[in-house]
Amino acid sequence: MRPNKLKFENEAQERAFWEKHDSTDYIDWKKAQKVTLAHLKPSLKTISIRLPETLLEELKMLANKRDVPYQSLLKIFLAERVEAELRKKSAA
């Protein structure tokens, strides 16, 4: 039996409910629509990293050629490498 609307008093109560129930009993995922949350920013965590000065200077030079901040270019390089490593691992 699918209730029309589930009501919870708080987030903890809802979390406890979904830990014990399957969403397919309550939601028709075939009717779901894709939603883009354009203004949602990912959570960021500030870290400190030590790099050789020459590597940092080379990174800044590459970033300057692309007209982007070097921190942004570093994030791009890291994301690309992580994705490649994960693909390689899943293919093995």
* pLDDT, tens digit (0-9, with 9 covering 90-100), for 53-83: 999 999 999 999 999 999 999 999 999 999 9
61 within a domain of the structure (yes/no):
yes
Q: What angle do CA 3, 35, 89 make, to 5 degrees?
A: 105
Residue 33 in any domain: the answer is: no
Q: In this structure, is residue 57 part of a structural domain?
A: yes
Question: For tokens 């708080």, what's the residue?
Answer: 10
Q: Tell me: pLDDT of 16 over 60.
A: yes
On average, the pLDDT of the chain sits at 89
The range of the structural domain enclosing residue 58 comes to 53-91
Question: From CA 68, how far away is CA 72, in angstroms rounded?
Answer: 7
Query: Considering the domain boundaries, does residue 39 fall inside one?
Result: no
Q: What is the 3-state secondary structure (H, E, C) of 26-89?
A: CCCHHHCCCCCCCCCCCCCCCCCCCCCHHHHHHHHHHHHHHCCCHHHHHHHHHHHHHHHHHHHH
Residue 65 lies in a domain: yes
Q: How many domains are contained in the chain? A: 1
Looking at the domain assignment, is residue 30 inside a domain? no
Whose structure tokens read 């050629």? 65
Indicate whether 75 belongs to any domain. Answer: yes
Per-residue pLDDT, 39: 86
